[in-house]
């Protein structure tokens, strides 16, 4: 492997000068610069980033922590992050917690030791140890999806999105709405979306029944199972709509309903959140909410870059959303 010393020798200058030429720092005579660049070209020399990083304390790498690598939401966000970061010459070091909270903390530390310049976390929960760890590593940090105290956070407007969706259902004439949520460990999805649902239902005179409330785990299967449970527990008095807090669960619910011969939306309306590509092509197409995940990723990357440049950045950002009315309602 060619090093800066090899280049220096061949160009008859010190490695100091090579470094300056390469980084456009300080004065280098045009002559020397040309000689150096020519040799760099010829040899295909690339500076050793570990050495550089050891010296400068910057690595050109941003750590990204995902709850799951294989969901469309994650992919879109990472896509947005990467688009912005790649343009600035940054690379992404990717980690996947597989929804294990311990790993979130572990990876934050690990990324620090790998000298990443900053971290973006797609957050799924909020807890003290997490906050503490983020404070400890003292790196430019950005959270997406949850409001982490004292951490720059980009949050989806879960409350209003959920409220809008519920309202829409009610104004379409549905007062009996089943709800498939997720664990309350996830404040954004598990608490905010449910709270908005309850608030609107109460305000608008909707009917909430305990056995119409299910709790899934984000998977299509869990949507299917919860729908089954809800219908079985309902007897004659059935809901006329079901609101699942994610598209995948909504699609699972639809599967069960179709199997049981329900017509959607005539017998039962279905809505989800996420605007997955699945939601568009499933039949009937699913009414859902688009959170513009890619844009969230882009914005997160831009904010992180601003932080790297020591620009002042606000602590909280609320993202926009859009209701997509389709055939399932």
Partner DNA sequence: CTGAAAGCGCTTACAG
CA–CA separation, 127 vs 135, rounded Å? 13
Residue 73 in 3-state DSSP? helix
Contact with a copy of itself (CB under 8 A) among 37, 93, 131, 233: 93
Task: Find which of a copy of itself, DNA, none residue 59 binds, CB within 5 to 8 Å per kind.
Answer: a copy of itself
CB-wise, 120 or 170, nearer to a copy of itself? 120
Task: Find which of a copy of itself, DNA, none residue 13 binds, CB within 5 to 8 Å per kind.
Answer: DNA
Q: Is residue 126 within 8 Å of 150, Cβ to Cβ?
A: no
- Quick one: residue 178, left, alpha or beta (phi over 0 = left, psi -120 to 50 = alpha)? beta
Smallest gap, in angstroms, from Cβ of residue 141 to DNA?
20
DSSP character string of 9-36: HHHTS-HHHHHHHHHT-S---HHHHHHH
Smallest gap, in angstroms, from Cβ of residue 30 to DNA?
7
The closest of 18, 135, 119 to 61, measured between CA atoms, is 119
Indicate the Cα dihedral angle 74, 75, 76, 82, nearest 10°: 110
CA–CA separation, 229 vs 244, rounded Å? 14
Residue whose entry in the numeric block shows the structure tokens 């980690």: 95
Task: Find which of a copy of itself, DNA, none residue 172 binds, CB within 5 to 8 Å per kind.
Answer: none
20 binds DNA (CB under 7 A): yes
Contact with a copy of itself (CB under 8 A) among 87, 109, 184, 322: 109
Q: Is residue 289 within 8 Å of 71, Cβ to Cβ?
A: no
176 binds DNA (CB under 7 A): no
Number of residues that bind a copy of itself (CB under 8 A): 39
Smallest gap, in angstroms, from Cβ of residue 96 to a copy of itself?
5
Residue 204 in 3-state DSSP? helix
24 binds a copy of itself (CB under 8 A): no
56 binds DNA (CB under 7 A): yes
Q: Is residue 289 within 8 Å of 75, Cβ to Cβ?
A: no
Contact with DNA (CB under 7 A) among 47, 96, 103, 318: 47
Q: Is residue 157 within 8 Å of 319, Cβ to Cβ?
A: yes
Contact with DNA (CB under 7 A) among 26, 38, 88, 277: 26
Task: Find which of DNA, a copy of itself, none residue 229 binds, CB within 5 to 8 Å per kind.
Answer: none
Question: What is the binding site for a copy of itself (CB under 8 A)?
Answer: 44, 46-51, 53-54, 59, 61, 69-70, 75-76, 78-79, 82, 86, 91-96, 109-110, 112-115, 136, 251, 255, 277-278, 281-283
């Amino acid at each position: 492997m060619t090093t800066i010393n090899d280049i220096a020798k061949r160009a008859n200058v010190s490695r100091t000068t090579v470094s300056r030429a390469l980084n456009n720092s300080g004065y280098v005579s045009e002559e020397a610069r040309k000689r150096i660049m020519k040799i760099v070209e010829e040899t295909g020399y690339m500076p050793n980033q570990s050495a550089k990083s050891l010296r400068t304390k910057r690595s050109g790498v941003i750590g990204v922590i995902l709850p799951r690598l294989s969901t469309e939401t994650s992919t879109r966000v990472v896509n947005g992050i990467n688009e912005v970061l790649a343009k600035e010459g940054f690379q992404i070091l990717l980690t996947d917690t597989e929804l294990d909270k311990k790993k979130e903390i572990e990876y934050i530390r690990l990324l620090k030791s790998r000298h990443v310049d900053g971290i973006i976390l797609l957050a799924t929960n909020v807890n003290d140890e997490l906050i503490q760890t983020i404070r400890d590593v003292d790196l430019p940090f950005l959270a997406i999806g949850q409001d982490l105290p004292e951490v720059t956070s980009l949050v989806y407007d879960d409350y209003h999105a959920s409220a809008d969706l519920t309202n829409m259902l009610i104004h379409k004439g549905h007062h009996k709405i089943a709800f498939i949520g997720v664990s309350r460990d996830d404040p954004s999805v598990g608490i905010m979306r449910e709270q908005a649902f309850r608030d609107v239902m109460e305000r608008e005179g909707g009917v909430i029944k305990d056995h119409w409330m299910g709790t899934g785990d984000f998977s299509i299967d869990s949507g299917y199972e919860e729908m089954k449970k809800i219908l079985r527990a309902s007897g004659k008095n059935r809901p006329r709509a079901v609101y699942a807090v994610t598209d995948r669960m909504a699609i699972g619910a639809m599967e069960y309903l179709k199997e049981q011969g329900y017509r959607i939306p005539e017998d039962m309306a279905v809505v989800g959140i996420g605007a997955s590509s699945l939601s568009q092509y499933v039949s009937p197409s699913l009414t859902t909410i688009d959170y513009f995940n890619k844009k969230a990723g882009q914005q997160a990357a831009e904010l992180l870059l601003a932080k790297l440049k020591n620009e002042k950045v606000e602590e909280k950002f609320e993202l926009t959303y859009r209701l997509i009315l389709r055939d399932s309602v």
